[in-house]
């Protein structure tokens, strides 16, 4: 196992309560509560926002319309046509979306652009040009974090998802079912599920240390991306550490070769200076590794001991 460290946690913005209230109000006004997947079209109509779909061939002309500040959020001009995931023009109250992205990706990106238009203080900027970077949990810019939170509150319908998640067992089968019900990606659902579940549950995401599918890239293993945990997990295991880097032979990393089937097992993790046993389940979706971690229940250990004795 590689060296351990305390990873950077996902932290919600100070404006969380106001964002949640704005998202909830719009869902109520549009009569969308309880309807899954969330009917984004109805939210756009209620908020009086227009939407324009663009082919990739039209993206270059879109690029020229936006301010230097918006362009800085997209890393470089090379390949810009394929980088843009959505854009919002606050002056005209128009959202621009590409036609050819995956269904789940477009769904979240539409909600993200809606957030820029629905949060009144975002009008300090005239426009937003969004890419994978700005729609990522890795982003540090305040307005992008807020738009991401608004999107999550919209597509998962706030506390309704929490109530639903608590009826499911903490595993990837539950995440897949909830993703299908909400029309969201597995990764977005995984983050939300680990955060709101009532059990002591944590979610860790890793990305390949080296891009590509060559043998050399696979052997490079994974590096940690983000770490999210439920309230119960934070209270019980707030100082727990997880591997910051996984070599190709790490048991979590073996999920990369499982043909998109979850792998599971037990692992000792450092907590308050000692190794404690945790259950884990790992899933590789083709571009990132997701790991659910939870404390091994006492009854689980007793059952194993009894089984051995028998």
Give whole-number Cα distances, 94 to 34, 127, 309, in Å.
Answer: 27, 10, 67
Among candidate residues 128, 155, 182, the one where a domain is terminated: 155
Domain that holds residue 293: 159-307
- For residue 139, the domain's CATH number is 1.10.10.2910
Same domain for 49 and 163, yes or no, is no
pLDDT for residue 304: 42
Same domain for 255 and 137, yes or no, is no
Among candidate residues 155, 186, 215, the one where a domain is terminated: 155
pLDDT for residue 44: 97
In a domain, 11, yes or no: no
Same domain for 187 and 299, yes or no, is yes
Using CA atoms, how far apart are residues 283 and 244, in angstroms rounded to an integer? 17
Per-residue pLDDT of the chain (310 residues; tens, 9 = 90+): 233 333 444 567 889 999 999 999 999 999 999 999 999 999 999 999 999 887 766 766 666 666 666 555 554 443 444 566 777 888 888 887 877 667 888 899 999 999 999 999 888 666 665 556 555 555 557 888 899 899 999 999 999 999 999 999 999 999 999 999 999 999 999 999 999 999 999 999 999 999 888 999 999 999 998 899 999 999 999 888 889 999 999 999 999 999 889 999 999 988 888 888 999 999 999 999 999 999 887 554 444 434 444 4
Q: How many residues are listed for the chain in this entry?
A: 310
User: Is the dihedral angle over the CA atoms 182, 187, 188, 193 positive or is it negative?
Assistant: positive
Same domain for 240 and 141, yes or no, is no
The residues near 154 (Cβ < 8 Å, ≥ 6 apart) are 23, 26, 27, 38, 40, 43, 111, 114, 115
Domain count, the chain: 2
pLDDT for residue 164: 95
In a domain, 183, yes or no: yes
Q: Measuring CA to CA, which residue among 33, 149, 40 is closest to residue 103?
A: 40
Same domain for 52 and 166, yes or no, is no
Q: What is the DSSP string of the chain?
A: -PPEE-PPBP---TTHHHHHHHHHHHHHHTT-TT-SS--HHHHHHHTT-EEEEE-GGGHHHHHHHS-HHHHHTS--STTHHHH--EEEETTTTEEEEESSS-HHHHHHHHHHHHHHHHSGGGGGSSEEEE-TTTTSTT---HHHHHHHHHHHHHHTTTHHHHHHHTTS-SSHHHHHHHHHHHT--HHHHHHHHHHH-SSSEEEEEEEESS-SSSHHHHHT-EEEEEEEE-HHHHHHHTT--EESEE-TTSTTGGGGGSSS--EEEEEEEEETTEEEEEEEEEEE-SS-EEEEEEEPPHHHHHHHHHHHH-
Which two tokens mark 107? Answer: 């769904």
Same domain for 67 and 148, yes or no, is yes
The pTM score is: 0.80
Neighbours of 200 (CB within 10 A): 20
């Amino acid at each position: 196992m590689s060296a351990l460290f305390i990873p950077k946690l996902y932290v919600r913005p100070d404006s969380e309560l106001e964002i949640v209230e704005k998202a909830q109000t719009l869902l109520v006004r549009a009569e969308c509560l309880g309807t899954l997947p969330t009917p984004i079209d109805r939210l756009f109509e209620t908020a009086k926002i227009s939407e324009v779909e663009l082919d990739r061939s039209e993206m270059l002309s879109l690029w020229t319309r936006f301010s230097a500040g918006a362009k800085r959020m997209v890393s470089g001009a090379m390949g810009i046509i394929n980088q843009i995931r959505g854009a919002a023009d606050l002056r005209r109250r128009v959202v621009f979306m590409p036609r050819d992205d995956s269904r789940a990706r477009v769904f979240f990106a539409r909600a993200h652009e809606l957030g820029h238009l629905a949060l009144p203080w975002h009008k300090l900027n005239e426009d937003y040009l969004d890419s994978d970077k700005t729609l990522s949990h890795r982003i540090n810019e305040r307005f992008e974090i807020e738009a991401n939170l608004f999107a999550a509150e919209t597509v998962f319908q706030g506390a309704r998802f929490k109530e639903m998640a608590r009826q499911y067992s903490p595993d990837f089968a539950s995440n897949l079912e909830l993703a299908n019900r909400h029309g969201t990606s597995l990764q977005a659902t995984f983050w939300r599920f680990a955060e709101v579940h009532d059990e002591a549950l944590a979610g860790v995401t890793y990305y390949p240390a080296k891009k590509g599918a060559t043998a050399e890239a696979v052997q490079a293993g994974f590096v940690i991306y983000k770490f999210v945990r439920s309230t119960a997990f934070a209270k019980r295991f707030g100082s727990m550490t997880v591997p910051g880097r996984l070599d190709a032979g790490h048991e979590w990393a073996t999920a990369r070769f499982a043909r998109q089937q979850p792998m599971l097992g037990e692992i000792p993790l450092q907590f308050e200076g000692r190794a404690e046993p945790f259950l884990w389940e790992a899933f590789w979706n083709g571009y990132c590794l997701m790991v659910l971690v939870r404390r091994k229940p006492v009854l689980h250990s007793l059952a194993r001991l009894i089984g051995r004795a028998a």
